[in-house]
Structure 1
Amino acid sequence: MIPRSLPGMLVLGALFAAAAPAQSAPDGKQISAQGANGAPACITCHGARGEGNPAAGFPQLAGMGGRYLEEQLNAMANGSRVSPVMAATAKALDPAQRQAVAQYYAALPSTLDTDQLAATAMHPSKPADTGAWLATRGAWDKNVPACNQCHGPGGIGVGENFPALAGQPAAYIAGQLRAWRQGQRPPGPLGLMPAVATRLSESEIDAVSAYYAGLPTAAAQLAAQANAPAGAKQ
């Protein structure tokens, strides 16, 4: 038998449910500034504007693809991307929080001058300049495509899946290339990066990493030379 009071109980239950506050979506900006669930604030290492910290080897996050950033956080949380520094932070955040903070950084303006950087792709390079050659021409004798083919002219990044390389710390870029060689990062789009990384020598990894790390400064110098009065150019 159904108690006569059941309809009233259902009505009261519905009223209480309607009155209960809806759970708010995670705030990516707040997580970046204050941390969450015991995880430290992202700005501690990655800067107040997501600009990174080259001296300490912490990469820029601002303007990176949201999908890329979320995938990296998820990979560090589940261990498929080995990161002693980030693993605990990524695990502390739940999936919705990881998505929120990824989208927050994706929406921040990049600190890069993408026009200046893109122009460097037209600047001639020589085989002896190993880093520039690999970035702009590749090493087809080893089936290594130019880095710019996927990461954009001047390493400015392309879409949601190919992050910017320009201005990232050399130690960070080199560390990630070596991580792919050792199977410590997911292979990424089309499974390209482990194959590329294993075909590069140690000196080539260091050279191309240093090239991209110094590219914003080099791009600014090239732009200044191009804009200088004719008599001032050397």
Structure 2
Amino acid sequence: MNRLCKSLQVLQVVAAASLLGWAAQTRAADSPKPDINRGQAIATQVCASCHGADGNSASGSFPKLAGQHEAYLVKQLKDFKVQAGAQAAARSNPIMAGMAAALSDSDMVNVAAYFAAQTPKPGVARDAATVPVGQKIYRAGIAEKGVPACASCHGPAGSGIPVQYPRISGQWADYTVAQLHAFAQGPGARNNNDAMHGIASRLSDNEIKAVADYVAGLH
């Protein structure tokens, strides 16, 4: 019964996130068309040293942004800023806080559109021993822990859903591990997704590493 309640709670949070995503998508339809050229200039001058000029970063210290959904990137950039009425940013990262602070809302839209239009380079799973565990978590979840399948939100190939859920296929395993730990911690680390906080906090370190490595080779 407890497992059923936990699963229902996760589904309720996911459903709420979907409704918020739909509302954001509706608002986005009324936004001005992004300036890709301006976005490329920002990417080259500001973002390239960490994320690569085309959004394909060179190491797992920084996420790949190429092919990521535009609206998702905009939201994350805004979450690095302290919003009106808040005491702290939803995502804690001193470097990104400084970068985001220098960008206007239109800058964020432009650079997000540029990265979204780039082609992501595929990644690989590096630990064959943990692939079966990672695959099980991604495809089926862990019922006894109330962990839903990652694929239920991020899709069977990890392509995500615009606005609501990010593309995660081919992402560096080290980065995914770091973000799952941040989600598990919540306030003070990454406090911008209640559903992911609940899910990540139920995963062990070994389970996090396994599913992150599996996702790195997903395509």
Q: Is the 8 A contact 1:64 1:160 kept in 2?
A: no
Matched with 1:30 is 41
- 2:77 is aligned with 1:73: yes
Matched with 2:190 is 185
Paired amino acid for 1:47:
G
Match of 1:160 among 157, 160, 163: 163
Q: 2:200 & 2:168 partners in 1: Cα distance?
A: 15
Alpha-carbon distance change, 159 to 128 in structure 1, aligned in 2, over 3 angstroms: closer
Equivalent positions of 1:193-208 (< 5 A) are 193-208=196-211
Match of 2:137 among 109, 134, 142: 134
1:59-111 per-residue CA deviation (whole Å, 9 max, x = no partner) reads 11112111110010011122210123322111121222122211221222333
Q: Is the 8 A contact 1:75 1:186 kept in 2?
A: no
- 2:159 is aligned with 1:149: no
- 2:57 is aligned with 1:52: yes
Q: Which runs of 5+ in 1 are unaligned?
A: 1-24, 35-40, 118-126, 217-234
Q: 1:210 & 1:77 partners in 2: Cα distance?
A: 30
Q: 1:70 & 1:108 partners in 2: Cα distance?
A: 16
Paired amino acid for 1:169:
W
TM-score w.r.t. the length of structure 1 is 0.67
- 2:108 is aligned with 1:108: no
Q: Is the 8 A contact 2:79 2:192 kept in 1?
A: no
Q: 2:167 & 2:75 partners in 1: Cα distance?
A: 15
Between the two proteins, the alignment pairs up a number of residues equal to: 172
Paired amino acid for 1:49:
D
- 2:92 is aligned with 1:82: yes
Q: Is the 8 A contact 1:57 1:170 kept in 2?
A: no
Aligned to 1:42, the other structure's residue is in SS state helix
Paired amino acid for 2:167:
A
Q: Is the 8 A contact 1:65 1:161 kept in 2?
A: no
Matched with 1:173 is 176
Q: 2:156 & 2:117 partners in 1: Cα distance?
A: 21
TM-score w.r.t. the length of structure 2 is 0.71
1:56 deviates by 4.3
Q: Is the 8 A contact 1:170 1:209 kept in 2?
A: yes
Aligned to 1:77, the other structure's residue is in SS state coil
Aligned to 1:186, the other structure's residue is in SS state coil
1:57 deviates by 2.2
